[in-house]
Structure 1
Amino acid sequence: MAALRRLRQCRPSGIAMSHFHTSSCASARQHYKMLVLGGGSGGISMSARMKRMMGAENVAVVEPSEMHYYQPIWTLVGAGAKTLTSSGRSTASVMPSGVKWVKSKVQEINPNTNTVRTDDGSEISYEYLIVALGLQLHYEKIKGLPEGFEQPKIGSNYSVQTVDKTWKALQDFKEGNAVFTFPNTPVKCAGAPQKIMYLTEAFLRKTGKRDKANIIYNTSLPVLFGIKKYADSLWDIVKQRDLQVNLRQNLIEVRADKQEAVFENLDKPGETNVIEYEMLHVTPPMGRPNLVVKGSQLADEAGWLDVNKDNLQHKRYPNVFGIGDCTNLPTIRTAAAVAAQTAILNRSISKVMKNEKPDRTYDGYTSCPLVTSYNTVILAEFDYNGQPLETFPVNQAKESRFMYHMKADVMPHLYWHGLLRYV
């Protein structure tokens, strides 16, 4: 909510356009004042803002997908509380009217010539560029995947192809180990890997199978959650519900035919542990987009889009900006973080276009609604420094039915009708 309240901030007017060099304009097939790469949360929300700032005819979005999904709700889809259909809408329906939609994949970005090349061979030049390419899922980095998803009893809430498999595995559970994983990479929505664990426990309790289940959460992290205030509450829940949490355990192989998951001990190289499962939920390794790779002109040393954490402007190319999961912003990657970033980025771009320095600072705000049952949520909100930055005058580290209603019903509505449309 704190992020969404900021959506109405900083509506600039009377912007004078400044020009960076565009030597490739003559040879490019298309040219736009603002080119947005990616049609996810950050890309669509910023294209709506850019339309308002400079006119629809001056904005283009490169996005190949025909469908746009509200991914935060997939936690509830995997637990049977929401349908997959309810999470998606056509990209055409969310694309701001009048904005050019380039239905292609980006193949190359050349910030020195202000050009982008797409997979159909087209070249697009720009005066300003917003990179909102998200991150990539890498199931293939786990031996036995993604082909293992063809077998029953295994799912993943992180993919449109596999989220319903989580619900099927949960429904079919009889007895044994229900195993949940967190990879040894950055991830989007870092709370999601354990949310499905709490929902599974609640479902098994409701269906009379809890006493036949051993629920295991194997995480590569040295902590249950990165912010102590909320982690303390989560540890209490883990103890109360008799959940087994193993730290520094990283999934490296799935033997789907044998229903075995193989983990490496990150604190003891070479040591592995094999766990038989009746249900397995996999959170895949994730990484930067292929176009923003280590050693590229746009990347930092780790390979993420190298932006100023205060204003989201690229550190070396002043007409390039970034938002969301593809950036090196040191905060948890969530839709709420994107919502907070849009207002700051909008302001930064308006200032740069007037040859002025950005004057607003992003504090790193992000939010993670930690679903702990089918009717309760712990709403974690915090900044770059891991300090709670809470919206409501209550202790948000306590489980709340109201917060669940916010997560399940209010936030999707605000996403579709507020964030994406910039109203």
Structure 2
Amino acid sequence: MAHSNKHTVVIIGGGAAGIATAASMLKRRAGLDIAIIEPSDIHAYQPGWTMVGGGIFEPEVTRRPMKSVMPKGVTWLKTAAKTFQPDDNEVTLEDGTTVGYDVLIVAPGIRLAWEKIEGLEATLGKNGVTSNYRYDLAPYTWQLVQGLKRGRAIFTQPPMPIKCAGAPQKAMYLSCDHWLRSGVLGDIEVEFRNAGGVLFGVQDYVPALMEYVEKYDIGLKLGSNLVAVDGPNQSATFQTKDGEVTREFDMLHVVPPQVAPQFLADSPLASESGFTDVDQHTLRHNRYPNVFGLGDGGSMPNAKTAAAARKQAPVVAVNALRQLDGKGPTAGYDGYGSCPLTVERGKIVLAEFGYGGKLMPSFPTWLIDGTKPARLSWMLKADALPWIYWNGMLKGREWLAGPGNMIAQ
């Protein structure tokens, strides 16, 4: 089928994964014809929102104009993708036009499903209800933390998958640290209500985290899933194995349930989960060899973090270029993800792990032992990682992230 509008490579999504992949491909093959489909004017460094909610970063430093991060030479189609027709090698956009491709890279991220919690959307940003998962709400988190002197603060975590599985805890620890330093923690009852059955999915990091749960006297409630919020009455209802429990609160930090974007879930590219159905190592689609997927929108069983996208982008870049050359994939992704868990202001438990919960530290343990809280890890998150993100990852510089794991043909 002929297209008036065709590009060699079409990338869905101008987030961390999409931009990094485009930049990595252009580093390897200058002048490659790439189009990125992305409706937003703004690109956000989402890992920074935890720090905004903790009063450490100003919100403005986490956002830049999308045009400033678009790699030079890329065609930016400023609209959203609507449907995929992989049998015809084309994508239909919201404005009704179709775009053809030789290789398609799907990186639309994950959708925050606020609507799945009854009453939540009507009360976000007021009545003590907040979330660091939204740019406009993270400053409200810090406002609430500073204002709370007594009462009950509840922090929630929905069922997996969610992006940055550590973020619900990070918000809580930074809040508790502020209350401890301010001398009010003893008058605040803190609860962590996690829909899952464990504090953190990789056991090696749990002992260090439990020390902080005990230090801050946090009531840990596992198997407790937020299902409804009554903002005006400041009460939250949770589903537990023993039925529904309703708790009053003075502050409620909510992490919303998260699902695949609807246009992806409804498409031929989706797996049963709704995410892009790809091989977890090569990141190539399981049914369409000229389609690749990465980032939070992929079906891989890794932790959905910016650090994971940083490692996935070079793998997709190498394998997609080989696909264009009529060859099979050679690069493999090992499931690496990273959760820098901010346990107090100035210290972080640097969780780094791959598939199967295998520990994958980037640094020798004499420098940083990721299973213990460390000041150096804090400096990494607060100072180094944002800089590496804007000046490295989004520019195709693959520091600590080369496309290793070569696969035998």
TM-score, scaled relative to structure 1 = 0.91
Are residue 352 (structure 1) and residue 323 (structure 2) matched? yes
Q: Please show how residues 6-17 of structure 1 align to structure 2 within 5 Å.
A: none
Q: Which residue of the partner structure matches residue 344 of structure 2?
A: 373
Gaps spanning 5+ residues in structure 1: where?
1-22
Equivalent residues, number: 394
Partners in 2 of 1:165 and 1:149 — Cα distance? Answer: 10
CA contact (8 A) 1:313 1:322 kept: yes
Partners in 1 of 2:125 and 2:395 — Cα distance? Answer: 38
2:254 to 264, 277, 282: 282
Q: Please show how residues 2-401 of structure 1 align to structure 2 within 5 Å.
A: 23=1, 25=2, 28-56=3-31, 58-265=33-240, 267-268=241-242, 271-293=243-265, 296-394=267-365, 395-401=369-375
CA contact (8 A) 1:152 1:169 kept: no
The Cα shift of 1:185 comes to 3.7
Q: One-letter code of the match for 2:376? A: F
- Tell me the C-alpha RMSD between the 2 structures: 1.3
Partners in 2 of 1:150 and 1:244 — Cα distance? Answer: 24
CA contact (8 A) 2:125 2:137 kept: no
CA contact (8 A) 1:57 1:100 kept: no
Alpha carbons of structure 1 residues 150 and 199: separation in structure 2 relative to 1, 3 Å: closer
Partners in 2 of 1:315 and 1:134 — Cα distance? Answer: 19
Q: One-letter code of the match for 1:407? A: K
CA contact (8 A) 1:299 1:306 kept: yes
CA contact (8 A) 2:9 2:104 kept: yes
Q: Which residue of the partner structure matches residue 403 of structure 1?
A: 377
CA contact (8 A) 2:9 2:101 kept: yes
Q: One-letter code of the match for 1:356? A: K
Q: One-letter code of the match for 1:223? A: V
Q: One-letter code of the match for 2:359? A: P
Q: Secondary structure at the match of 1:128?
A: strand
TM-score, scaled relative to structure 2 = 0.94
Gaps spanning 5+ residues in structure 2: where?
398-409
Q: Which residue of the partner structure matches residue 392 of structure 2?
A: 418
Runs of 4+ with >3 A deviation: 52-57
Partners in 2 of 1:44 and 1:143 — Cα distance? Answer: 35
Q: Secondary structure at the match of 2:120?
A: coil
Partners in 2 of 1:378 and 1:73 — Cα distance? Answer: 16
Q: Secondary structure at the match of 2:316?
A: helix
Q: One-letter code of the match for 2:123? A: G
The Cα shift of 1:49 comes to 2.1
The Cα shift of 1:55 comes to 4.0
CA contact (8 A) 1:174 1:278 kept: no
CA contact (8 A) 1:67 1:91 kept: yes
Alpha carbons of structure 1 residues 56 and 145: separation in structure 2 relative to 1, 3 Å: farther
Between the two proteins, what is the percent identity of the paired residues?
37
CA contact (8 A) 1:56 1:97 kept: no
Q: Secondary structure at the match of 2:95?
A: coil
CA contact (8 A) 2:127 2:234 kept: no
